[in-house]
Structure 1
Amino acid sequence: MIGSAAFEVKGWCPGALRPMQSGDGLIVRIRPRSATFSPGELAVLANAARQFGNGHIDLTRRANLQIRGVSEASLPGLHDMVARLGLLDENADGEAVRNVMINPLAGIDPAEVFDIRPIGRELAHLLVSDKSLWALPSKFGFIVDGGGVLSLAQLRADVRVVAMAAGKDVAIAIGFETRAGTEWLGSTSPGDAASAAIEIGLAFIDVASREKRQRMRDLSGEGLASIRSAMRSRLGTLHENPPKADASLNRRIGLIELGEGRFAVGIAAPFGRLETDQLRKLVDVMAVHGVGEVRLSPWRTLYASVPSRRSGQSILDAAAGDGLITDPVDPLLQIEACPGAPGCQSTALDTRGDGRRLAALLPRFGFTGTVHVSGCAKGCAKSGSAELVLVGCDGRYGIVRGGTAGDHPAHHFSFAELAADPGNIFDIDEGSRHD
C-alpha cells in the first residue's frame, strides 16, 4: 500500500512545454488566452486527447485544460497541434508564469463593472515578454476581476486586480494576499493596472529570493512591508475596499439570465474530468446553436453566451444527457476529488469512484457542505479547507471536519466501512442514525 510519506510535493504546475509525469502518463496543460477557446479549438483538443493521450481531459482550478496519458513519443505531435492553434508558448519559463485568471463572462455580463480582458491580456503579455519575471514561482498567480455575476472575490491569488465604480469612471484596486486575506494597497487607472501588478511581482521576486518563499502569503511581516513601501508612491488612495462576493452567485450552473435579454449556460464536469467524446459532442451542439466562444473557469465549469433561452436549454439538455452537470443542486457539485488510482502514483484509492458513491449519500443525510476526497495529504484537488475531508493513507480514509487534507485525522476507515456506517462520515449521533 502507499503510505502517507510516499508522495512528493512537486511545488510546480505542469505546462505544455514542461509536462508532469503521473500514474497514467504525462499531463500536458494548455493555457488558453483570456480563458477562452472557440468550439473549433476545443474540438481539435478533444480529438488530440484521444490521438496523443488516453482520452481523459481535466478542467483545472486555474481555468486551464489538461490532456492526460501523453507519452514521450506522442508529445511532439501534440506540441505541433497546439502550436497550429496558436496556443504554444515560445519557452517553458514564460509559459510557467502566465498564470492570470479573469471572469468567465468578461465582456458578456451586463452587470460587470468593467470588461477587464484588455488588462488580462496586457498582464499575460508582460509576464511572458519580461524575462526578469520568469523568476516568479510557477504557482504564483494573478486575478483580474471585473465583477458581475461570476465575481472572483472568493478565490485566492497572490496579486489581485479588481475593477470598482468611481462615479462615472472606473478605478482599479490593487492588492496582495496575506495569511489574513487580501490586503488592498491602493488604486490606479485601467491603463496602468497591468504594469502596477507587474511591479508587485518584481518586488515579490526580490523579497522571496531572500526569504526563500514561494507564495505571497508566506512572506514575513518584514517582507510584506517591503512590498508595501515599494508600491506606496505608485498607487493612489483607495477610499473603500472592493465588495466581497456573494458566494451563492459563484459556480452558477445551468441557464443563466444575465439581463438585457442575454443568456449564458454553465456546464460542469464531475470532478473536472471530461472524456474526449463528451467534449466533442458538447462543442458540436454549441456550434449548431451559434456559440462562438467557450470560457473556462476556476470552478471547473464551462461557460458560454447563447443566443436565446431556447438554444441554451437545448445545449443543457444535450450536456445532461451525456453525463455532464447542468443542475445547480447536483450533489456532485459539493465534492472535489483528485484523480486517484490508477491515474496518480500517490494513492491506491479510487477517489472519484468513492466521491460518486459519497455524493449519493449527501441528500439522504441532509449534508449541504463542501467535501474534499483526497487520495493523500497533498490535497491536489483543493488547497483550502472543506467542511468534510476524506484523506487517504494506506488504502483507508481519515476523516477531517472543517480542515484540509494536510490535517491529521484521528481515525481511519475503509470506504466500505464508511458506507456501512455513514455516521462515521457525517458525525451523526447513534440515536439519530438512519437505517
Structure 2
Amino acid sequence: MHSVTGKIFEAERLDITSMHRGACPALAAPMQTGDGLLVRLRPAGGALTVSQFQALALAAVRHGNGILEITARGNLQIRGLRAGSVGLLAADIDAAGITVPDGVAIEISPLHGVDADEIADAAEMEAALRNRLGAFLSSPRLAPKLSILIDGGGQFSLSTLVADIRIVAQHASQWLVSIAGDGQGATPLALGGADTAVNAVGDLLQILIARGRQTRARDIDAATLRGHFPQIDSIRSTRPAPQKSSFVGVTRLGNGRAVLGVRLKFGQARTADLISFLASTESAGGPELRLAPDRGFFLIGIGETEMPAMQQAAIDHGFSVTAHEPAEQIAACAGAGACASAFYDTRALAGQLIDRVPDLFDGSLKLHLSGCAKGCAHRHADLAIVGSAEGYGFVLDGLAADRPAARIAGERIDFAIERLARLIEDKRGAGESSADSLKRLGVIGLAEALQQE
C-alpha cells in the first residue's frame, strides 16, 4: 500500500502524450484520450466509505471534466485530466484516506466478508499475495494490463470475468489457480491450500517477469507450464461458482442482511448527480460502498425500512436499480461532447435504439456503441456500431476496430435503425434470441438489410 502523490509527480515529468491504447491508465501512468488524460484506480478491497466516494466525485470536478466512470471490471475512472492536474488529484485521494495498493490491481469478490454464502474471504487471500509477493507484483517488467482475480464464491462470483491469473475458492479450504480465461475457459494449474495458491502465483509472476512487459499469461507455452506445475494434467474439471445474472437491485444475503446494487447507466455518472445521490444515503446511516463488475456498486448496511427510499433516490438521480433494463445490455463510450475522438453522441444513439428497436434487447445481446474505432468501452461484442469520419460502421461479432459488415453515412443513421428494427422483426425465427438471429444472418445478411433502399 502506498501514498500515491509522490509517484504521480514523478509520472508527470514523463511524456504523457506517448501513452497508448493497451497501457493501463493507472494514477502513476495516465493515458491520453480524446478528452484529456484518463486515470484508472482500484481502492483497496474495492471498498469506499460514502465520504470517500464523495471526495472522489468532487476531485473529478476540480481536476477533470466532471465525469466519473465505473468500468466493466468494477474499477474507477476519472476523465478529462491535464498534466498539471494529475498530481492534484492524487493529493485529494490521499487526503480522503483512500488507499491504492502498489503494483498490479487485484480484483476480488465485491461482497467479500459480507456474503454468508462466500466460501472463503478473498480479501485475506489478497493480503497474503501482497505481503509475500509484493516485490513481484510491483515489477515494472509485468504487462501494464496484467489482471489478477480472486473469487471467494458467494452470490456474486467473478466467473464471467477473464483474467491472466484466477484464484478461486473451492470447498475444503482449497484454492484453484488457473490462467488465461474466464471461470469455464481458464487453464487449471494448481489446487491446494492458501500456501499452495500463493506459491503458484509467485511462480507465474516470475515467469512473466522474466519474459517482459509484452507477455501475458496466455503467451506461456505448455512445456513451461508443465515444468512448473506438475498438477496441470491431473486437475480434470472444476465447477464454476454460480453467477447471479445481475447485481442490480436488492439482494438478500443468507445472514439476513440486504444490499442494494446500483448501476451507472453506460458506466458513467456526472458528478453532480453522484454527489447528490450519495448525500441522500446519509439518512440510511452512511452505508459502505463496494465497487462491482459491470459498471456499478453495492450499498451495504442499508436497513430494511430505508431500502425503498434509497432505490427511489437512485432512480431520481438517473441510476439503475432494476435488473435487465435495455441500457444494461449496452456498452457505450463517452461519446461526442465528452471525448474529442468520438464521431457521434453514443448516449443519444442508445436512447434511439432502445425506443425504436426494443426487440433487440431481449437479454441475449451485448451491443457496443463506440464513438471511434479504438473501442474504449468494450472488447468483443455481438454488435458494435462504430463512428468514423464517413459515418457509422456496423461490426458483427467482433471488435470496434474490425472491418464492418456495413457502413452507413452519418445522415442515414435513422434509416439504418429502421432497417435494423425490421430485420429483427421479420427475420427472427420462432423462439430465437436477437443475438442468435444476428449470428445466423451473419455479415452478408446484416449488410444486405442495412444497405438496401
Change (3 A) 1:51 1:431: closer
Aligned 8 A contact 2:104 2:137 in 1: no
Pairing of 1:139-288 with structure 2 (within 5 A) = 139-165=145-171, 169-177=172-180, 181-206=185-210, 208-209=211-212, 213-217=214-218, 219=219, 223-232=221-230, 238=235, 240-243=237-240, 245-246=242-243, 249-288=244-283
Contact 1:105 1:295 in 2 (8 A): yes
C-alpha distance in 2, partners of 1:22/1:342? Answer: 13
- Is the contact between residue 133 and residue 201 of structure 1 (CA under 8 Å) also seen in structure 2? no
Residue 376 (structure 1) aligns with = 372
Q: Among residues 110, 123, 132, which one is paired with 2:116 in the alignment?
A: 110
Separation (CA, whole Å) in 1 of partners of 2:19 and 2:87: 27
* Contact 2:125 2:150 (8 Å CA) reproduced: yes
Report the secondary structure of 1:200's partner residue.
Answer: helix
Q: What is the DSSP-based 3-state SS (H/G/I as helix, E as strand, rest coil) of the residue aligned with 1:428?
A: helix
Contact 2:69–2:77 at 8 Å: present in 1 too? yes
Q: Aligned to 2:206, what secondary structure does the other structure show?
A: helix
* Structure 1 segment 280-359 matched on structure 2, within 5 A: 280-359=275-354
- Shift of residue 139, structure 1, vs aligned partner: 0.6
8 Å contact from structure 1 (residues 187, 237) kept in 2: no
- Specify the code of the residue in structure 2 equivalent to 1:172: W
Is 1:10 the equivalent of 2:21?
Answer: yes
**Number of equivalent positions:** 409
Q: How many angstroms apart in 2 are the aligned matches of 1:298 and 1:148? A: 14
User: Identity percentage over the alignment?
Assistant: 30
Aligned letter for 1:176?
A: I
In the alignment, the residues of structure 2 paired with residue 360 and residue 397 of structure 1 have an alpha-carbon distance, to the nearest angstrom, of: 19
Matched, 1:360 2:372: no
Query: What RMSD in Å do the two structures reach over aligned CA positions?
Result: 2.9
How many angstroms apart in 2 are the aligned matches of 1:58 and 1:419?
29
TM-score (norm 2): 0.82
Aligned to 1:387: 382
- The answer to which of 278-287 and 339-348 deviates more is 339-348
Whether the aligned pair in 2 keeps the contact of 1:397 and 1:415 (CA below 8 Å) is yes
Shift of 1:237: 6.0
Q: Tell me, in whole angstroms, the C-alpha distance in 1 between the residues paired with 2:19 and 2:55.
A: 33
CA contact (8 A) 1:371 1:389 kept: yes
2:81 and 2:424 mapped to 1: Cα distance? 48
- Corresponding residue number in structure 1 for 2:40: 29
Which structure has more relative contact order (CA 8 Å, sep 6+)? It is 1
Q: What are structure 1's unaligned runs of at least 5 residues?
A: 1-6
Using structure 1 for the length normalisation, give the TM-score. Answer: 0.85
Look up the SS of the partner of 2:104 in the other structure. coil
1:3 equivalent in structure 2: none
Aligned to 2:104: 98
Deviations 1:358-387 (A, max 9, x none): 233342556432111122333221113x22
What is the rounded CA distance, in whole Å, between the counterparts of 1:151 and 1:143 in structure 2? 11
- Give the SS at the match of 1:225: helix
Corresponding residue of 1:4: none
Q: Secondary structure at the match of 2:384?
A: strand
Farther off after superposition, 52-61 or 393-402 = 393-402
Can you list the C-alpha shifts for 1:8-55, whole angstroms capped at 9, x where unaligned?
952211112221222222212232001111111111111111122221
Seen in structure 2, the aligned counterparts of structure 1 residues 132 and 288 have a Cα distance that, compared at 3 Å, is closer
Check if 1:69 corresponds to 2:70.
no
Contact 2:153–2:241, Cα closer than 8 Å, also in 1: no
Distance in structure 1 (CA, Å) of the matches to 2:109 and 2:289? 13
Query: Structure 2: which 5+ runs fail to align?
Result: 1-17, 429-453
Over 3 Å counting, the alpha-carbon distance change for 1:23 and 1:343 in structure 2 is farther
